[in-house]
Each structure stands twice: as C-alpha cells, then as structure tokens.
Amino acid sequence: MKLANYVAGKWLEGTGAGTPLVDPVLGTELARASTDGVDMRAALDYARTTGGPALRKLSYGERAALLGKIVEVLTANKDKYQATALANSGNTKIDAAIDIDGGIGTLFFYSRLGSKLGDKRALHDGAFDRLGKDEAFQSTHIAVPLQGAAIHINAFNFPSWGLWEKAAVALLAGVPVVAKPATATALLSYQMVKDVIDAGVLPAGALSLICGSARDLLDHVTGQDAIAFTGSADTAHLLRANKNVIASGARFNVEADSLNSSLLGPDATEGAPEFDLFVREVAREMTQKAGQKCTAIRRAFVPRALADKVAGALEARLAKTVVGNPRTESVTMGPVVSKSQQKAVLDAIRQLSAEAKTVIGGDAKPVDANAATGCFVAPTLLRCDDPASGKAVHAVEAFGPACTLMPYDSAEQAIALAAKGGGSLAASVFTSDDKFAADAALGLAASHGRVLIIDEKVGKSSTGHGIVMPMCVHGGPGRAGGGEELGGLRGLRFYHQRLAVQGRLDRLQAIATSAADVSL
Ligand code: NAP
C-alpha cells in the first residue's frame, strides 16, 4: 500500500518506490510513502486560494464547530487508530492514548474555546491608548487571520497529537493547513486525515496532507504563510536557513529538542511524599512512549545526600518495566520507532556514558519479540556525580528511555544546573518548601517554556511533567527552538496579523465592537 497525498483537493499517489513505513516490533513493512511528482507549489496555492477564503468567510464560532465535527469523526474511529499506533509506532495502549486522545482532546478544547468568540471574524487585543493631547485621537490593536497557508511539519513521535494540536489552532484562526507528518509514522496521520476528508466536514482546501519528503515545499512559501516545525534542532537549522523562507519573511515557529529536567527539592527526605512522587514521575517519563516525548525528563537533579537513595528507588522501579511487544498484555514499554532511532538513542547513551555511569540499562531483552528485528532500548538510568563539569549530560538528547541522575549541592546550584540545558521545554520541581518552589519557578523561567511545581497536595491531580496541556503554552527558548504553541487563545497569535489602528476614538470603538476581545 502506498499512502496517497491529499493536495489541491485530490488524493494523489507519489511516483517511484517510496519510503517504507515499518512495524518497529516485527520489522515488517506496513506501507510506503512518496511525494515524488507532487506539485508543492500548486498544493500551497490551492490551500491559499480555495481553503483560506472559505475558512475566513466563517466566524470563529463556525470554525470552532468544524473542530467539533472533526472530533466526532476521529472519536468514531479510535479503535482503528489504536491498532495503527501499535503497528507503526510500537505504542502500548497508554502510549497510543496519549497521542490519539491527546490530539482529539486538543481539538475538543479549541472547539469549546473558539465557540466563545462567537460570530466575530477579527480579534481586538487590549485597550485604547491616547496618542497626544487630543482625547479624540487614539489607537488600539486588532488582529486578522493571515491570508496564506499554515505549513505544519511534524516529528515522528506524535503522528496524531502533533497533527491536531497545530491544525486545531490554525483552523480556528481561519488559516488552511498543509500538514506534513514525519514519514516513519505517517500511517496514523494519513488514516485520520482520510477519515476527516471522506466525512466531508471541512471546506475544500482547508486541510491538505503530504505523506513523505517535503521536497521543495518551503521554496514556495510566501510572506502570508506560517510554518510550524517540530523536530530536531538540526533540521530546524536547515529549514530556517532556506533562502525563500528568509526572503519571504514567512513566520517560522520551531519546537525542537530539549534537555528537560526535574528537581527534587533540598527539603526532601527519603519516603517523603515529594520523594516518592519524584521517583514515580522520573520513571514514568523515561518509559512512557519509550521516552520519545520532546518534554520527557532527561536530567534528574537531587540533593547530594539523597542521590544513592533516589538511584536505588529508580533502579527498583525501572527493573519492573516489561519491555517487549505491546500486543502482549504484560508489556509496559514498547520499542522506539525505527532502527535508525534505536541506533541514535544507543549512540547518545554511549556519549553520555563518557561522563556518567550506568545505574540500570544494557541490552534490551524484549518479551514476545525478537531483539534483532525489533527496535528495543532498555530503560537506561545514568548517574553523573559531577554535573557542574559535565558537558554532554546537559547537551546530548537521547530521544528514548534514558535519563541522567545528578546530585546538586545547593538550591542555587540546582536551578543553575537545570538552566544548563540551553533552553528547555519543561522542568518540574518536587518540593514541600514554598520558598524553593517560588525561587525555582522564577529562576527557571528565563530558560524554560513551562515549570510544573508539585507537592503532596497536587501530586494526584497533576497532569504530569511531560503532558502538554492546550491551555498552557508549549515551547521553549534557545535550544528548544524559541517557539510557542497552544496556550489557549494565545496560540491564535501566530496565525494572525496584529496591527495598530489609529484614528478617531468612536471609529476605533466601532471597529473593536465588530471583533472579539482577546489578549494575545
Ligand atoms: P526530524 O528528523 O528533525 O524531522 C522532523 C520533520 O522534519 C519530519 O517531518 C521530517 O520529514 C521533516 N524534514 C526533515 N528534513 C526536511 C527538509 N529538508 N525539508 C522539510 N522537512 C524536513 O525530527 P524527528 O526525528 O522526526 O523527531 C525527533 C526530534 O523531534 C527530537 O529531537 C525531539 O526532541 C523533537 N521533538 C520536539 C517536540 C517539541 O514540541 N519541541 C515534539 C516532538 C519531537 P521526514 O520524516 O520525511 O524526514
């Protein structure tokens, strides 16, 4: 089977042999993807000229209702998607739910949120400001949807969530989507988009899909397009440097890789609720989706006096992980998605091992699967006792079930070490000390996109370190790409042109009344 591309309102198979999509447990081929012969310029033009006007004709409320229709279509097909997530990504049921329900949940959230914007077609952001002595002459800000396409280039680890968390915001904004999932796991994205297109719930041109290489896609972007990229920092650098991307001034949001950290506070003691919550969270982050979450904890910082205790507790917990074929009920962690990812993770672990020793790791011995054909990596906890001198431990992302445990000597040092990731998506802090919680949140703020603060009182209700919630912004500075997505209505900003309008106050008020009040 070859995955077809959905461009210019038609399903079109690429020519040539295509790139195989493989089951990472069995090593068998599931499908092929090719974009050879696909006219990328025409694909973007169709989205801009057919999808854009159709979406902009609708109000925010009407577009929010479209998101609700997508939710209905996807919800009706969840069992099929679960099977695909297992076959193409090696997901356990829980891993698949994070991706599939995460995508549907984000669409649902934006459908509810967008409905509050009602019948408006523009946004009004902020107050009115007097510009001089005359009170009649003032300014205000409004925002309108871009008139180009939203180009979404996604990473392999979230073929559902990555697709819909971006599409939900762009479609609500009124900007047509051209989605390009990572080839290795594109089968799930393909099935979902196919179901939505077949259901006829979206206007023509609102959603297009490219399955396979992006080829010359970015050579055709214009200044009204908005590119949202998720993937490795290396690819981000390459795409940012594309001559046409630079020359056109197209918007470019990057969600790249990240050395996220978790801190156990200096107040912690063995057996304290925060100690147990921290250990549970680190182990869960390492093994959920086999560690293939951009937000997963890669560095765990603990008070030096507790390092042995934490290492022991994590080792005991990780030893219970059952690695293998997720088709077997007892298996709690599947493979990484491909042989090349397996090699990349093992190479990264080797680099980290130059500065850290292994607490638990080694060869994976998968249950009900062949270690040679499958893409398994054992949960690997490393320990680096000199994190202040370590370099690789703060720089090398092992995008799999791996984490480095590091002791710190003071509260200030813990915060400084976490910031050594060079800009990260998420940090978590486990402490019962309110002062440390506040110091850590503010101390980590400049280098992070999100900080999660946990104590006994919110330990149970926490959504977790690595789970991206649509009401919170997602992204991080520096190495993490410098981007920002989601964050409720804040996410609309990327797909809107905000402008200052200056003039007579009563005219400005009339314009503002025709727009929905938001704070972007
Ligand atoms: P990747 O190799 O950088 O690929 C990302 C996407 O870019 C894929 O769709 C890929 O397509 C596409 N791509 C590659 N070369 C391209 C080119 N020349 N022109 C246009 N598109 C191109 O990343 P990955 O291996 O899929 O994902 C893993 C990385 O993503 C990890 O480092 C992880 O930390 C990061 N990540 C970050 C976030 C976040 O939100 N910050 C979320 C998830 C993952 P093909 O698949 O067809 O090559």
Query: Which residue type, as a one-letter code, is found at position 246?
Result: I
Residue 513 confidence class, pLDDT cut points 50, 70, 90 = very high
Which pLDDT score is estimated for 247? Answer: 97
Pocket test for ligand 1, best of 153, 216, 375, 485 (most atoms within 8 A of CB): 153
The whole-number average pLDDT for the span 26-45 is 97
The minimum-distance atom of ligand 1 relative to the CA of 294 is 34
**Which residue has a Cα nearest atom 23 of ligand 1?**
231
Cα–ligand 1 centroid distance for 295 (angstroms):
15
Summarised one tens digit per residue, pLDDT across range 326-352 is 999 999 999 999 999 999 999 999 999
Pocket test for ligand 1, best of 294, 339, 397 (most atoms within 8 A of CB): 294
Cα–ligand 1 centroid distance for 257 (angstroms):
9
Which H or E element spans position 501? strand 496-504
The pLDDT mean for the chain works out to: 97
Cα–ligand 1 centroid distance for 234 (angstroms):
9
Coil, strand or helix: which one is 387?
Answer: coil
Give the integer Cα–Cα distance in Å for 44 and 220: 8
**Which residue has a Cα nearest atom 42 of ligand 1?**
294
Q: Which among 446, 355, 451 has a CA at the least distance from the CA of 398?
A: 355
**Which residue has a Cα nearest atom 10 of ligand 1?**
182
Give the integer Cα–Cα distance in Å for 207 and 22: 26
Give the integer Cα–Cα distance in Å for 462 and 348: 30
Give the integer Cα–Cα distance in Å for 328 and 375: 16
**Which residue has a Cα nearest atom 34 of ligand 1?**
257
Q: Which among 42, 63, 45, 67 has a CA at the least distance from the CA of 54?
A: 63
Residue 93 confidence class, pLDDT cut points 50, 70, 90 = very high
Annotation says 294 is catalytic: yes
Residues with CB under 6 Å of ligand 1 are 153-157, 180, 182-184, 213-214, 230-232, 235, 238-239, 255-258, 294, 397, 399, 425, 480-481
CA dihedral 309, 313, 319, 322 (to 10 degrees): -160
Summarised one tens digit per residue, pLDDT across range 355-395 is 999 999 999 999 999 999 999 999 999 999 999 999 999 99
**Which residue has a Cα nearest atom 39 of ligand 1?**
255
Res 126 pLDDT > 90: no
Report angle CA 286, 289, 291 to the nearest 5 degrees. Answer: 30
Summarised one tens digit per residue, pLDDT across range 473-496 is 999 999 999 999 999 999 999 999
Summarised one tens digit per residue, pLDDT across range 401-457 is 999 999 999 999 999 999 999 999 999 999 999 999 999 999 999 999 999 999 999
Pocket test for ligand 1, best of 19, 35, 106, 156 (most atoms within 8 A of CB): 156
Res 253 pLDDT > 90: yes
Give the integer Cα–Cα distance in Å for 188 and 232: 21
Buried b (16+ CB within 10 A) or exposed e, 84-117: bbbbbbbbbeebbbbbbbbbbbbbbbbbebbbeb
The minimum-distance atom of ligand 1 relative to the CA of 158 is 43
Res 520 pLDDT > 90: no
In contact, 131 and 138? CB cutoff 8 Å: yes
The whole-number average pLDDT for the span 396-400 is 97
Give the integer Cα–Cα distance in Å for 287 and 321: 8
**Which residue has a Cα nearest atom 21 of ligand 1?**
214
How many Cβ atoms from other residues are within 10 Å of residue 507's Cβ? 12
Which pLDDT score is estimated for 484? Answer: 97
The count of residues in the chain is 520
Which pLDDT score is estimated for 38? Answer: 97
Q: Which of 294, 375, 384, 403 is catalytic?
A: 294
Cα-Cα end-to-end distance for the chain: 44
Cα–ligand 1 centroid distance for 154 (angstroms):
6
Annotation says 255 is catalytic: yes
Q: Which of 13, 255, 274, 484 is catalytic?
A: 255
How many Cβ atoms from other residues are within 10 Å of residue 221's Cβ? 24
The whole-number average pLDDT for the span 309-318 is 98
Pocket test for ligand 1, best of 218, 235, 342 (most atoms within 8 A of CB): 235
Cα–ligand 1 centroid distance for 516 (angstroms):
35
